[in-house]
Structure 1
Amino acid sequence: RNWELAIARGTDPDDLLSAHDVADRSRAGQEVVAYLHALIGQRRAHPTDDLLSMLVGVEEQGEVLTAAEVLGICVLLLVAGMETSINLIGNGMIALLRNPDQLALLRERPELTPAAVEEMLRYDTPTQFTMRVALTETTVAGHTFARGDGVIVLMASAGRDPAVFTDPDRFDITRYAAASAPRRHLGFSLGLHYCLGAPLARMEAETAIRTLIARAPGLSLATDTLTYLPSLIHRGVVSLPLDLSAD
């Protein structure tokens, strides 16, 4: 977790990072690479029934993943698979606890949990923006991007677009409840960059949130003062103190 936090913090632009942040990112990167490199070697020699052994053993059209490729996938899984899922669950619980009518509705109708998670992704997405490169000349809202131009996509802003969503600042766990309701949000990006772990992230969030509110019927925030991560890209709290026993 310490490695992952340091690497995630280091994904912000360097101009916004302190010397300590940069040093932590470098240290965490070196340590996690050394750890995974040794683990990859172990799995190549002695495969077991786990994801890393499957990655090491992947073969497509006679080609196998190199150690560097397996390493890159593992680091991605570590950072993206932990930080975003943790923040999705945390942000989602905050939204529920600050909207008691929605929490009460979810307790009454737990089958709404999948729809609630989609609304959490729209309402308070764990990844605020991402960066892309224009592959062809493209005009968006009157602004033309040339091939090779850098583009910043603000997913958090897109989730509150009044041209797309009715009453976008309202947290509504029924927004995606209808079977015909499309999952219109950028919480997992789109196209070629669509999140590889989206099904797992949904499963993690649905299971964690459904279980927590079922086991703690008096659940409430233990404090109204929450400290958020010092990050532009990642939206989440440093900790989420909850009272599990309130009446």
Structure 2
Amino acid sequence: MAHETTPSIHLIARPAVDLEGMRAYLEDVGGGSWLERRTAADTAPNAGELLVEFGGRACYRSWEPGLNVNVTKVRTDQRDYLKNILKSAHGSVLEHANYSFALRNVSRVATHEIVRHRAGAAYSQESLRYVRLVDIGFRVPPALEPLRQECLELVERLEEFQVSAAEKLKIDDDGIPFHVKKEVTSALRRLAPIGLSTDLILTMNLRTLRHVIEMRTDTGAEEELRLIFGRLGEIMVEEAPGLFQDFTRRDDGSWVPEFRKV
């Protein structure tokens, strides 16, 4: 029977660094003391932020003063260093760090918009060519709240059609080959609501995340996108605070950076 759902966002992967590999490189270029400072604390360094800083310092050989004769002074505080990266729009180094999320019970309306973000992103979505619709999840958007019951009844009728059509076409009878099941399943999805709940695995680098979180939480964005990326903003401010230090969440729910188009 059709049921109501609520989107949920799960961080499932974050960057990892090989400290020994970094150390071997730095011993060759003369920047080993930088890594010693970054790993001196009792807690492990934030891998995403360390990777971004590593990329940035490699560009200018700014591990220590004097390694590049043009550099006589370097920022030693990581948060200050990352703020300067953001302020100077040196955004390419943010592309080294990728984060992956499982988006559960988001609508295909939302996923159709999300997958338009191609640069710095990768997606894997539940395929309705292979997954039969026998239990449709659906979220009633706020604008349709006065029509809640009518919406749910309509979705339930569409679900009943999916089940009855499969029965009438006898695709679960013994001996029916998989390619026939797939063909019918693919055809039936054309008669399913675009607002049905689905799952999407999403990977974005930090540069893309900053841009999309700002764009999709703007007051003019689609309301479900604002919900999804509002939660992503919360996750990333906690996950990579140095690289989201300039983000502020307004009372209207939008995430706004001080430094745009990094």
Structure 1 or 2, whichever has the larger Rg, is: 2
**Above 0.5 in TM-score?**
no
Q: TM-score range by the shorter chain?
A: under 0.3
TM-score of the aligned structures, taking structure 2 as reference length = 0.23
Higher relative contact order (CA 8 A, sep 6+): 2
